[in-house]
Structures are given as C-alpha cells and as structure tokens.
Structure 1
Amino acid sequence: MSRTDRHERFMALHGSGCFVMPNPWDAGSARMMAAMGAVALATSSAAHAFTLGRPDMGGVTRDEALAHAEDIVASTGLPVSGDFENGFGDTPEDVAETVRLAAEVGLSGCGIEDMAFGESVTAYDFELALEKIRAGVAAARSLGRPFVLTARADGVMNGVYDLSQGILRLQAFEAAGADCLYLPVPPGQAELAQILAAVKAPLNVLAVGPVQDMSLGTLTGLGVRRISLGSQMARLTHAAIRDAMAALQAGHFTPFKAAARGDEIDALLKGGRGDG
C-alpha cells in the first residue's frame, strides 16, 4: 500500500461500519498488530512516554512525537494516526503547524485535545478550543490529500467539565469541520448513546472503563465508527513485566511459561512489515 493509498484508505474506513485501531509503541509492536489483522494504527502519547521513562500528559515534545510517529509509519504499510495531545501548544497556529508536520512524516491523521497542560490539567476556554480545531481543519484541508483530523473533548475523562459541556464542544468541533470526534470515557452506555445522537460525524471511543464491558457488536450497533485502545496494550505489557518481576522476587518463574516463542514473534514481525 502506497502512502497515498493508505491516506485514502484511512479516510474511507470512517465512512461506514466500525473498526478497531490499536496503538503500538514501537516498530515491533506495530508489525505484530499489523500481522494480526489491524487495518490502521495510532500512536499513543502515554505509551511513547513510557518507553522514555516519562509520565503521560506533556511528557513528550513535538519533535520526539513526530520522530516516533515517523518510525511507526515506516514499520508497516498501514495508515497511522498521531496522538498529538493539545497540538503541542496553546495557540491555533501551534495546532496548524503540528498538522502540517504530521503530514510531512506520513501520518494519515491526528487527534487534538482541548486540554492545557501545566501543574494541573485544565480545559481550554470554549472559544480557544474551537479556534484550535478550526486551525487544524484548515491546515488539513490545505494538504491536498486526505487527512483525518480528530477533535477531542477530554474534559469529562479528566473531570474538568460535565457531559453536556463535552457534547457542546463536540458539536462545535463538528461544525468546524472535524473529520472524527472523540470524547474519551463516557460514564456508561446511555451516555455514549446520548453523544452519538447529538452528532453526525464519525465517533471514536476508547476501550477503557465502561466501554470494556461492551462488545464490538454492541458498539457497532450503537453507531460507533472507530475504537482505539490508547495506552491499554502498552499497560497490559507493563502489567506482564510487573507480574513477572513479582514472581522473580518471590523465587519462581511461572509467568514465563506464557512467553511467546521466538520463532512465533519473528514470523509476526515479518508478516506485519508490509511495504512501509
């Protein structure tokens, strides 16, 4: 799949049905996910930060995130979306530049949050958050090729505004031209249905919290178009490290019986390489 083809394919995936977009943290995990049937991938700011020994939320610079994303893009032939937090800046111009740079490294889209990072996480003022999305949409449209701009309302997940404010923001982002909308961690299925009824643009959901208790079929039936895992796959891997180390400290090696064989991993890495 050429780069142009994968950008077109990524945009088309949002047109109907529902797909799962896992989040690798390096070339190897990306290739394994591709070999196991992923149709698109996304970076994860948290998973990337973990590889650098840093915390999530503001732990990675834009240059680092772009270089990391470029490695993921090159590792497979799949379309990749970038998790670019608040656009790496507090102004609409910062978001526009981030979108242009994202396109240069071969990404097929990126997500922009409405959160400001400092000593604490707060939400941008409604109008500023909207202007940032408008700038991102304008930059995406100027590229001359498909680029899925995902607008995120993260305040419900972070406890800084309620669901009604989150829906108002999604509706404004949709009116501004965002290709995909994303309100992570709604309280439950009823609230997710409320979000879906309030907007028409494709909606991404994060497979954490209440969503983990819903099947792919249920989410598809509700009208969800895209499901991402965020840092969950990386956290699952870190849980395996934690549990294996706890076993070692206890004096036994039982967890290692579940380790994948080297030849199995080699085959997956080869099979997921694609033409990227």
Structure 2
Amino acid sequence: MAIMSQIQRGLRFQQLHTAEAIFLMPNAWDVGSALMLASCGFPAIATTSAGVAFSLGFPDQEAAVSRETMLDRVGSIAAASPLPVSADLQSGYGASPEEVGETIAAAIRAGVVGANIEDYSGNPAQALFDREHAVARVRAARRAADASGVPFVLTARSDVYLTGASNVFAEAVERCNAYREAGADCLFVPGASDPKTIEALVREINAPLTVVMGLTGSPLTVPQLGSLGSPRFQCNK
C-alpha cells in the first residue's frame, strides 16, 4: 500500500467526512497497532490518548503524558501509516487558546491530518471550560490548522455527558454548534450512547458527529448507528 503525501492524506480525510457513506476509524496506540489496522482495510486511523498512556505505563490523564511524548508517539504512527491519521490531543495540552494553537501546529508538523480537542478542563471545581473560553480554544485550533496549509479535519469534543452537566442535551447541542461556528469540522459527544439521543444529536448538530464503538454500554452495530445518521465511528476495541 503506497503512502500518500500529507496533503493527499488530508484531502482524503476531508472527503471521508463529506461523502454519503459512513466510515469506521479504529484507534491505534503505537506503530505496530497502526500497521495492523491499516492492513485490515480501514480508510483512516485515529490515535487514542488512553491507549498511548497505558502502553507507556501511565494513567489516561493529560498530566501523565507530556505533549512532547504524545506528539512523538503520534508522529511515529503518522510516519509509518499509509493512511490519514487523526490525533487524540485531549484538552490541547494547555488551557489557553494560544497553547491549543501551538499544539495543533506541532501535531501537523508531526504528520497528522486531523485531531480532536476536548472542553474538559481537568479542574474538579469546574469540569468544563466555560463556553466562551472553549469556543476561543476551538477558534485558535482552526487558525493554526489553516495557517499550516495542510488540509485538516478538526474535531471538537464536548464532555458534557461525562461530567454531569445540567440540561445535558441542550448544553451539548449549544456547545457543539458553537464549536462548529468557531471552525470545527466534526463534533464528538462521548457518553451519549442510546439510539434516541444519538439520533437527536445528529439532527440538532450542524456538522458530522463522531460516535464511539466498542465501549461498555455502547452495544450498537455499525448498520444500526449508520441508520441514525452519524457518518464517522471510532472503534476502541
């Protein structure tokens, strides 16, 4: 399988998100897993921050694995993989929009053509960044991606369902649509796993929605999820 240039991989990854067909993207944690998954016929590969951390003997916490260590691993996966690679960059390795932009720029230099940034703050007193600040972080990520000249799919993740936010569905929709306006290409709402909720999110969010498969409590099959309207699935197992 020929390895595409980064520009070609970026264009291909964008096309996957605009095509009518759904696609399944597995999570890799090192070069070996990425090559194995690429050989299985998937169209793209994501990295998993949890998988990378666990493979290094650390917990799945942003503070446990430095940005440099994560980008080194992500870069090795992107260099070895013949497919587009999207990186799990957690909260962007910094609270400020400027730090998030720096992380996106560094990830693109490492070879990826997509990434997700979440709105989880890591602060027990306020689990999510307030909406205005979270939007500014997404906007900074978009600017950094555009400045690189590499076609890039930016996924904004909202952890409202994982943090017990009040009025959780409405908050998820409002945040995701605000992130979309700030420049996100795709949205991700982990913790929303029942069919009715997923279908409602797909209907109310004005962008492609990522749905995770392979986790406990997420028993739906690809055809079942596809019937709900979501184009992109990430497989954790």
Normalized against structure 1, the TM-score is what?
0.79
Partner of 1:183: 189
Name the residue aligned to 1:93: 98
User: For the Cα contact (< 8 Å) 1:179–1:202, is it kept in 2?
Assistant: yes
Partner residue in 1 for 2:172: 166
Who wins on radius of gyration, i.e. which is larger? 1
Q: Which structure has greater strand proportion?
A: 2
Q: Structure 2: 5+ residue runs without aligned partners?
A: none
Shift of 1:120: 7.2
Match of 1:56 among 41, 56, 60: 60
- Cα distance between partner residues in 2 of 1:66 and 1:197: 34
Q: How far 1:221 moved relative to its partner?
A: 2.0
d(CA) in 2 for partners of 1:15, 1:154: 24
Find the aligned partners of 1:36 and 1:42 in 2 and give their Cα distance.
14
SS at match of 2:148: coil
Percent identity, aligned pairs only, is 38
For 1:213 and 1:71, how far apart are their aligned partners in 2? 32
The C-alpha deviation readout for 1:29-59, integer Å capped at 9, x for no partner, is 1111011111111111100000111111212
Residue 117 of structure 1 aligns to a residue in which SS? strand
DSSP 3-state at the match of 1:112 = strand
- Pairwise CA distance, 1:163: 2.1
Contact kept? 1:10, 1:79, Cα under 8 Å: yes
Amino acid across the alignment from 2:115: C
The 8 Å contact of residues 6 and 150 in structure 2, kept in 1 or not, is answered as no
- State the structure with bigger RCO (CA 8 A, min sep 6), 1 or 2: 1
Distance 2:125 2:26 in 1: 28
User: TM-score, normalized by length of structure 2?
Assistant: 0.92
Partner of 1:46: 50
CA contact (8 A) 2:53 2:59 kept: yes
Task: Give yes or no for the alignment of 1:83 onto 2:84.
Answer: no
Q: Which runs of 5+ in 1 are unaligned?
A: 234-276
Distance 1:141 1:225 in 2: 23
Question: How many residues of Structure 1 are paired with residues of Structure 2 in the alignment?
Answer: 230
2:5 partner letter: S
Letter in 2 for 1:89: G
Q: Which is richer in helix? A: 1
Deviation of 1:173 after TM superposition, in Å, equals 0.6
> How big is each residue's C-alpha offset from its partner over 1:142-200, in whole Å with a ceiling of 9 and x where there is no partner?
22221111001112123244222111100101111211111012141111111111122
